[in-house]
Chains A and B, each alone.
Chain A
């Protein structure tokens, strides 16, 4: 099973890479047919990625969500899922073009991690862990998409008006609204992640909140996006300022994911 997973993982990386190149080509040659192939390849990559995760799950005899490699590959999977949903739902292949390099970077990071399967320490053997991490993947994926959308928003302001732009990138208001939708999805799932994490911590360690750095940073991220929501309620904060805030929010997400593990010690250091 793990051999199959290894092979699938390599194919998935190639598929994501090819779809990224095709997305770039779509922007360069401005042909819809190229975008359709890029989306198709991304979907194929996603299906194989799902199969790779299932194989690893079967091979390891548990959910593949417990070490750096597994979380990174699942993060790329979540970002791919959410970006595909938004690309298809809003007929927006340019989003795919901007999301593809981020997905490729994350899966590249996964490829650099050790793929060894270690037996789990008793504290990690919990169904709550499954809920905790899988909701985190969707939350991170959705925040990733809002980040990509905000970058598009900020770049769109600097680009010269053209038929291609108007046809393939939604207007400012709609772009802002789609970004808000992805933040909404992310915030809902981040709340779920924090609550399921607290329930798990209570069962494993007897304390549902201990101000561990990872907990604290997920709270910081939650507050940042809560501020974003409140600021949006005041009209002036739509558009550009909201987009900049989304970028800051995603930097917090990445710090919670990578920075905390690297620089701050805590009970989460293993994942």
Chain B
């Protein structure tokens, strides 16, 4: 137990400390933010990705081992204890946590304590006795809670180790391969629903997914929106983000030779000229140029679209500027134009076969906690004394002072009842 508490404390401290350091940055970033020495320390201790670091995994693994051993070792004792809890023999010898003498009507006290109907039995020395036990399931709370936590950590870890994650983005009409899988995603439609005040209410993409390796087996179509993912081909599709895209046309000597829709941040290679690449750095729907500040957009409306581009040849930048609708870039015999600005959709695709295990773990933990904290096992027994009155005893492993108070109240009420008789 001491070891488990120490590990839990270390885990809490590790989590707290790691949350104070911005995660997943580079050495350069940390040395600029802190100092070179601190940055070196952060990198050496893996504090830049603390939650996936060997020491964090080791603490968690120790905790799991501790929990597993604790649960395994306690299981036989717990089964024995649960059986004993409902058997009078184990109780009648005990002094109880609380007791009262001289009770005339023990049945009424059992009732007031909301115990089940007591079973008549005999003590070792042959006296009449009554016994009732309530909620023995409460004994299992900690065990079930620990089991839930184990399942939760197992589900989470297996998920982290085996999950596949891809990002697909594009505009309606495009067909995209999902990562290196055999599945292809068609973006059938993409809608941005706006409210009267112009704020976005919902993003929705209609998609069709097909597995070319096993045609027609598990593909299909679905509509996905934020908070409403869909599962197709064994993968889960989430509406994740949006951005701007534009149609890029390339002409050679005035004749069209290539046309593609390019998303902001993405590039297009000119097929006719190896090494020539056009990149759409950003798209400003309502372009304004403020001296000293630079380019920006005044609104989300397509009032005055401008395209910020770069052109590369053999890896070297050969041009960079902002272009308006209808303007063109000329590179030798090639001309490039941007037009038809539109929203693209960004879809996250995920395969995590162990999410359900983590969910079950979470629910089992909840159940265990409810059992541990709210289901109070209790047993009450009565032994007839020589004078014909009864001695009453009560025991509750978790009830403590509150159980004793309720017990005494039930007894007091008895004497009040007597007084009014």
Contact with B along A157-174 (1 / 0, CB 8 A): 000000000000001011
**Interface status of A43 (Cβ within 8 A of chain B):** no
8 intermolecular pairs with C-beta atoms under 8 Å apart:
A119-B195, A122-B225, A171-B401, A195-B362, A206-B238, A211-B18, A211-B19, A216-B16
Q: Cα distance A217–B12 when bound, in Å?
A: 9
Task: Number of A interface residues at 8 Å Cβ cutoff, please give it.
Answer: 50
> A223 on the interface (CB 8 Å rule)?
yes
Which 8 pairs, one residue from A and one from B, show the smallest C-beta to C-beta distance? A122-B226, A184-B373, A206-B238, A223-B12, A216-B19, A195-B362, A173-B401, A126-B227
| Contact in complex: B402, A177 (CB < 8 Å) | yes
User: B362 to chain A: which residues have CB within 8 Å?
Assistant: 191, 194-195, 198
Considering only residues 194-213 of chain A, those with a C-beta below 8 Å from chain B are 194-195, 198-200, 202-209, 211, 213
Is B369's CB within 8 Å of the partner chain A?
A: yes
Of the candidate stretches A31-39, A72-80, A224-232, the one touching chain B is: A224-232
Residue of B nearest to A170 (CB): B401
Contact of B240 (CB < 8 Å), options: A173, A206, A265: A206
A209-B240 CB under 8 A given contacts A188-B366, A216-B19, A220-B15: no
> Once the chains bind, are A227 and B8 in contact (CB under 8 Å)?
yes
A207 CB → nearest B CB, Å: 8
Q: Which of A211-262 contact B (CB under 8 A)?
A: 211, 213, 216-217, 219-220, 223-224, 226-227, 230-231, 233-234, 260
Which B residues are CB-close (under 8 A) to A177?
400-402
Bound-complex Cα distance A34 to B228 (A): 54
The complex places the Cα of A173 from the Cα of B98 at a distance, in Å, of 15
A123-B226, A191-B365, A227-B5 known; A205 vs B16 contact (CB < 8 Å): no
A137 within 8 A of B: no
Q: Does A121 have its Cβ within 8 Å of any Cβ on chain B?
A: yes
Q: Which chain A residues lie closer than 8 Å to B5 at the CB level?
A: 227, 230-231
Smallest distance from the beta carbon of A157 to chain B beta carbons, Å?
17
A188 touches B374 (CB 8 A): yes
Give CA–CA (A94, B165) in the complex, Å. 55
Q: Give residues of chain B (1-40) contacting chain A, Cβ–Cβ below 8 Å.
A: 1, 4-5, 8-9, 11-12, 15-16, 18-20, 22-23
Determine how close the nearest CB of chain A comes to the CB of B14; give it in whole angstroms.
Answer: 9
Residues of A within 8 A of B200 (CB): 121-122
With A and B bound together, what is the CA distance between A120 and B140 in angstroms?
43
Q: Is the pair A122, B12 in contact by a Cβ cutoff of 8 Å?
A: no
Decide yes or no: A187 and B373 within 8 Å by CB, A206-B238, A230-B8 being known contacts: yes
Residue A187 contacts which of B15, B18, B369 (CB distance < 8 angstroms)? B369
**Given contacts A195-B363, A216-B15, could you give 10 more A-B pairs where the C-beta distance is less than 8 Å?**
A122-B201, A125-B226, A177-B401, A177-B402, A188-B366, A205-B238, A220-B19, A230-B1, A231-B5, A264-B20
| A231–B9 CA distance with the chains assembled, in angstroms | 12
Report whether A125 and B20 are in contact in the complex, using a CB–CB cutoff of 8 Å: no
In the complex, what residue of chain A is closest to B361 when comparing beta carbons? A195
Q: How large is the interface on B (under 10, 10 to 19, 20 to 34, 35 or more residues)?
A: 35 or more
Instruction: Tell me whether A131 is interfacial, beta carbon within 8 Å.
Output: no
CB of B334 within 8 Å of the partner chain: no
Q: Does B229 contact A (CB under 8 A)?
A: yes
Taking a contact as CB atoms under 8 Å apart, the answer to whether B19 and A205 are in contact is: no
**Pair B236/A206 contact, Cβ less than 8 Å:** yes
Contact of B9 among A206, A208, A227 (CB under 8 A): A227
Known A174-B405, A220-B15, A227-B9: A123·B227 in contact at CB below 8 Å? yes
**Does residue B203 face the partner (Cβ distance < 8 Å to A)?**
yes
A224 to B156 CA separation, bound complex (whole angstroms): 21
Q: Which residue of A lies closest to B203 (CB)?
A: A122
Asked if residues A226 and B227 are in contact (CB atoms below 8 Å), the reply is no
- Which residues of B lie under 8 Å from residue A92 when comparing CB positions? none
Among A176, A223, A264, point to the contact of B19 (Cβ < 8 A).
A264
Return chain B residues, CB-CB under 8 Å to A125: 201-202, 226-227
Residues of chain A with a CB closer than 8 A to B359's CB: 199
Q: Which B residues touch A178, using CB under 8 A?
A: 402
The residues of B that contact A119 with a CB separation of less than 8 Å are: 195, 197, 199, 201
